[in-house]
Every structure is written in structure tokens, then in C-alpha cells.
Amino acid sequence: MGDRAWQHFPEAREQITDLVCTQMRRAIDADQMPEPVDQFEYALQAVRPLIRDLGLVDLDRDLVRRFCLFCRDLLGYSGPDGNQVSYVLGMYVLDGLDGPPVVRVIRQVDPGLIELVRARFPGMWAEE
């Protein structure tokens, strides 16, 4: 999730860098190999602050477009941590963003994404 956030949300790169540096500092302090940053941390600290206002009328459409691309990338992700990425996407990125204002904005930018989300997460992004 971190690499996709880095790719689609340049405005989150400072937070992503902080997360990675924290893991590196922990590894140095413990004299161990660094652990990967948890997907949950990327979602809460890098992505969620950017997208919490997606349903606002005056929101930057470019951010909505990039959010849609980010979601499509993660919905198609099949790496070794695919189940965790899918869970974090559903629970910590998409959950709470399924109200009618958000669905309307997403439909304007990427209507096909709504069906992909509904197929992966039944009951999410229901009809307005």
C-alpha cells in the first residue's frame, strides 16, 4: 500500500517517509533487521487524511481521480500480502467513505470503480 500511496499521493510522501524512517530507527535501536511498515499505518497516516473529505463538492477532482487509481491498483493487487492489503483497503480506507456524496463524486470520475468495490466488499458503496 505504501508504494501505491507514494505513487498516487505525492502530498503524502512526507508521512510515508516518516513511517519508513521510524521503522529504520527501531531496527537500529534493536540491532535487528527492519520490519516493513504495517499496511494499517500507511492507510491511517498517509492516505486517510487526504481522502476524508472526498464527498465535498469543491474537492479537487485531480485528488479524486488519483484516489480512484489508487483503489483500482489495490483492488487488483495480488502480492503475498494481498489479503492484508484488501482488508486494510476495505476497513481503513473505504469504510466511512461510502455515503451518497462520495459515491456521487466517484461516479463522476470513475463509475466503474463503484462496481469493483461492491464486488469485493458487498454492501459497500450502496445506491444513493
C-alpha cell at 34: 527492519
Q: Which single residue is written with the C-alpha cell 476524508?
A: 52
State the pLDDT at residue 56. Answer: 67
Virtual torsion, Cα 81, 36, 20, 9, nearest 10 deg: 0
74-101 pLDDT, tens digit each? 999 998 999 999 999 999 999 878 778 8
Q: Name the grid cell of 27.
A: 531496527
Amino acid at 102: V
| pLDDT tier at 123, thresholds 50, 70, 90 | confident
From the centroid of its chain, how far is CA 80?
18
Phi/psi of residue 29, nearest 5 degrees: -60, -35
Percentage of the residues of the chain whose pLDDT score is greater than 90: 71
Within 8 A by CB and 6+ apart from 32, the residues are none
